[in-house]
Chains A and B, each alone.
Chain A
Amino acid sequence: MSVELGHFALILAFALSLVQASAPLVGARLGNGRLMQIGEPAAITGFALITLAFAALMLAYVQSDFSVLNVWENSHSAKPLLFKLTGTWGNHEGSMLLWVLILSLFGAMVAFFGSNLPPSLRANVLAVQGMIASAFLLFILATSNPFARLQPAPIEGRDLNPILQDVGLAVHPPLLYLGYVGFSISFSFAVAALLDGRIDAAWARWVRPWTLAAWAFLTGGIAMGSYWAYYELGWGGFWFWDPVENASFLPWLSGTALLHSALVMEKRGALKIWTVLLAILTFSLSLLGTFLVRSGVLTSVHTFASDPARGVFILAILMLFIGGALALFAWRASALAPGGLFHPISREGALVLNNLLLTTAAATVLVGTLYPLLVEAVTGDKISVGAPFFNLTFLPLFLPLLLAMPFGPVLAWKRGDLVAAAQRLHLAFAVAAIAGFMVYFLVDRATAFAAIGVGIGLWLVCGAIADLAVKAGAGKVGPVVGLRRLWGLPRAMKGTALAHAGMGLTVLGVVCVTTLEAERIVTMQPGDRVEISDFSLRFDDIRPFTGPNYSEEQAFFTLFSSGGRQIGEIVSSKRFYTARGMPTTEAGIETLLLSQLYISIGDATSAGGLVVRVWWKPMVTLIWLGALVMMIGGTVSLLDRRLRIGAPKASPKRRLATAGEGG
Chain B
Amino acid sequence: MTIRRFVLIAIAALLFAAGPQVAGAVQPDEMLSDPVLEQRARDLSAGLRCMVCQNQSIDDSDAELARDLRVLVRERLAAGDSDAEVIEYVVSRYGEFVLLKPRVSPRNALLWATPVLILLAGVIVLALGVSRRRKKRAAPLTPEEEAALKGILNERD
Contacts and interface: CB of A to CB of B under 8 A. Distances in A.
Interface of A: 90-92, 95, 161, 163-164, 166, 168, 172-173, 176, 180, 221-222, 225-226, 228-229, 232-235, 237, 240-245, 247-248, 289-290, 293-294, 296, 298-299, 341, 344, 352, 356, 359-361, 363-364, 367-368, 371, 375, 379, 381-389, 392-393, 396-397, 521-523, 582-585, 587, 600-602, 611, 613
A583 B3 CA distance: 8
Contacts of A361: 115
Contacts of A363: 114-115, 118
Contact of B100 (A221, A222, A386, A587): A386
A217 to B, nearest CB: 13
Contacts of B100: 384-389
Given A163-B11, A296-B13, A388-B100, A352 B126 contact: yes
Interface string B46-81: 110100001111001000000000000000000000
B28 A522 contact: yes
List of 6 A-B pairs having minimum Cβ-Cβ separation, nearest first: A234-B23, A386-B100, A225-B17, A232-B20, A388-B101, A225-B18
Contacts of B55: 240-243, 384, 386
Contacts of A385: 100-102, 111
B12 A356 contact: no
Contact of B115 (A229, A393, A582): A393
Contacts of A293: 12-13, 15-16
Nearest to A240: B19
A289 B16 contact: yes
A344 B130 contact: yes
B122 A360 contact: yes
Given A163-B7, A600-B23, A367 B107 contact: no
B57 A602 contact: no
Given A341-B133, A375-B107, A389-B102, A229 B17 contact: yes
B33 interface: no
B99 to A, nearest CB: 6
Nearest to B115: A364
A260 to B, nearest CB: 15
A448 B112 CA distance: 26
Given A222-B17, A293-B13, A299 B115 contact: no
B147 interface: no
A226 B22 contact: no
B17 to A, nearest CB: 3
Given A234-B22, A243-B12, A296-B13, 4 more contacts: A237-B60, A344-B130, A602-B27, A613-B23
Given A168-B18, A375-B107, A235 B60 contact: yes
B90 interface: no
Interface in B115-132: 115, 118-119, 122-123, 126, 130
Nearest to B26: A521
A377 to B, nearest CB: 13
Given A364-B114, A379-B107, A386-B57, A225 B126 contact: no
B57 A356 contact: no
B101 to A, nearest CB: 4
B25 interface: yes
Contact of A235 (B6, B23, B28, B97): B23
Contacts of B133: 341
Given A341-B133, A364-B114, A163 B21 contact: yes
A228 B19 CA distance: 9
Given A234-B23, A363-B118, A163 B101 contact: no
A237 B55 CA distance: 14
A395 B7 CA distance: 30
A229 B11 CA distance: 11
B17 A248 contact: yes
What secondary structure prevails in chain A residues at the interface with B? helix
A91 B101 contact: no
B126 to A, nearest CB: 7
Nearest to A223: B17
Contact of B57 (A245, A299, A387, A393): A387
A290 B110 CA distance: 25
Contacts of A587: 23
Given A359-B122, A383-B108, A172 B17 contact: yes
B98 interface: yes
| Most chain B beta-carbon contacts within 10 A, residue among A91, A245, A386 | A386
B17 A360 contact: no
Given A381-B107, A388-B46, A611-B27, A234 B122 contact: no
A383 B96 contact: yes
B137 interface: yes
A611 B28 contact: yes
A467 B141 CA distance: 41
A344 B134 CA distance: 12
Given A356-B122, A383-B102, A384-B98, A521 B16 contact: no
A164 B126 CA distance: 47
Contacts of A601: 23
B156 to A, nearest CB: 25
Contact of A384 (B3, B49, B123): B49
A233 B17 contact: no
A184 to B, nearest CB: 15
23 contacts: A92-B14, A95-B14, A161-B10, A161-B11, A163-B21, A228-B18, A229-B18, A234-B21, A235-B23, A242-B55, A245-B17, A245-B18, A248-B17, A299-B9, A299-B54, A356-B122, A364-B114, A381-B96, A383-B102, A522-B28, A585-B22, A611-B28, A613-B25
B13 A180 contact: no
B19 A244 contact: yes
Nearest to B49: A384
Contact of B119 (A244, A245, A360): A360
Contact of B16 (A176, A341, A360): A176
| Most chain A beta-carbon contacts within 10 A, residue among B12, B27, B31, B56 | B12
B32 to A, nearest CB: 12
B16 A389 contact: no
Given A228-B20, A583-B3, A371 B110 contact: yes
A435 B110 CA distance: 40
Contact of B49 (A92, A229, A386): A386
A582 B102 contact: no
A91 B10 CA distance: 9
